[in-house]
Amino acid sequence: MIFDTTFNGGLRLLVESTAATDVAAVGVWYNHGSRDEPVELAGATHIIEHMR
């Protein structure tokens, strides 16, 4: 079974569960990254990616 919902802020949540096991997989997608950067912040996402 797959549950798919999108929250008001645009966050998308997908949950896949299988009745045969007690395991669930959860994926979260959000539109934020280098392709969503304004021109004046180009490259900021890439720099933050390395700051763990």
**d(Cα 26, Cα 42) in Å, to the nearest integer?**
30
Number of structural domains the chain divides into: 1
- With beta carbons less than 8 A apart as the criterion, state whether 2 and 13 touch: no
- With beta carbons less than 8 A apart as the criterion, state whether 34 and 46 touch: yes
**pLDDT for residue 4:** 92
Per-residue pLDDT of the chain (52 residues; tens, 9 = 90+): 888 999 998 788 888 888 888 877 776 666 677 888 888 988 888 888 888 6
- With beta carbons less than 8 A apart as the criterion, state whether 12 and 26 touch: no
